[in-house]
Structure 1
């Protein structure tokens, strides 16, 4: 007999992996069944931060890190629920990884399949039973490939007392005597069957004389090389369907004149404290509601206006912007994280119809003396 494990494919689409749902599931198809014992040590999700050494909690990878209050491991392992599903053909199995908590939006993750992931190379059966007792297998990375048939027979009934459960059993290997009599406190110890393989007896269930268990082990090979699948979450929790990119355009005087001639003037207020709908000035113009904003990185903010935005309505006077200390922390200048004399260009553009992107860049050439910033459309 021989057991082999091979990764066949990732069942999620490339589009899904690049805009992964924060509560989604990664599905990997294997040829052969991966060993379920401690599978989370050899197959797992890990958050991949960028090259920064510090991070602020609860914000995306690209968000602000100006204040190094919190030290975060660059690779945070994600606790996941792993489910095995057997396919109907070719002895295939699907491993499904579902994070126990929602992933962070706009962040990068790796699914790691370690080279130490091996197939389920053993089979356990209870051939003679007088009660509900059972055994299971615990494997270690050091397990060696071996073809053998083991038989464990209970030769005295369990002796249970406070803190202990003593049983006595014999062990045969390939029909010959291997261990004629083994006495074991199964609440404390396991039985070492061979290198890297232990037998675990159910510690709270009595074993009866004559109960017999068989364990068969086979030669095996694992996946040989560690495999990594990159996964990225997006700004939204849902998958964003691929769509035609919308190129932002510079608004010139001719555009404004055309807007006045064709439509009149409609100003959209994109504040984040709206509690009521902004009624449009012109009939048929979409109502803006559910406005929200997100930090993408230290210099970029995305504003969701809740409705499609006309490029003609996006001009400097729409914005009411103030630049001040992050988190209202007045000690930032003393720490070197905020320069009160700095000047900035704030570029604005429309992305994906409903969203306004604001990008801040420090610049002393374009900003007039005495002004802290200017607004410019992103070409």
Structure 2
């Protein structure tokens, strides 16, 4: 690999579009018809749309009729997190219990009154406190509860015991939503095995185009009375507006490829991640790998080195040709302390210096070697500054 070539290790922010997905987008853009039209051109667009819906459904073990396309993961979460989400024939939910380390689109995107929302704490590993959850489910009395729990954390990669949580919530008559945006395409996701009532996805996290996502219901026995986008009857009335057929086509293709390569790719990325972590520990033995004691995504690790500020480090790695992140990419480019790390009890000085490495389908062993070389330069500069200040 040429020394001047940049290394992209920020797949949790956006994974580069797979060529096959880009080709699907380009092909679908040439379809002239509206998928709601009954003529031949409209039927061709509808066929493209429904073919992609089948592929997205298969990625998470769902039925195609229960997939609703949205503009992305944020809209999908905002659509679901409302008191009007309910099982047919039942009353809506009254209270929301949400993981303290959830993505901002969940923490800030729900439509519940603030006094009806409680945060489920996480432990030092980043794993939800199930005992706390059980106590609050019991304390809810007759109030129907909606529990929102991320399958995989976008900053640390920590996986949550969603199946265990879903069984507990259903035992107490509640509903369960999981943000599966970071997990899908990286680890097996099966909506029935998880036991959740609804989950959400975003195409650009596993090689699809940006700006397209989905809500996936466990069955057709759920409804959302208070829709976000009202108008025509598209997406069975859940989300009005002419569907983005081209982006949906790319979504479906990326989902199909991710599913076909899931086991092999997970093993490959896990090996590369472990190698990258080992290089980091070699050059910075005091480095903290956040959530290392928990089960994590195979492609993700977050680390902090005492004395190293995230903003300074990001610039240094960028100048060395390596693209990393300081956490979520949803903060307008700002580098600020993470609510995820605060919830985990990470010391503020370390939290302010935490970086995230997230690998993906473009990542190679040579990329990991380049990351190791950049680590040596960045950490070496830090140690020199410490020595000169001593």
Using CA pairs below 8 Å that are at least 6 residues apart, which structure has the higher relative contact order? 2
After TM superposition, is the score higher than 0.5? no
- Structure number with bigger Rg: 1
Relative to its length, the structure with more strand (as a share) is 1
TM bucket by the smaller chain? under 0.3
TM-score by length of 2: 0.19
Higher helix fraction (1 or 2) = 2
TM-score (normalised: structure 1): 0.20
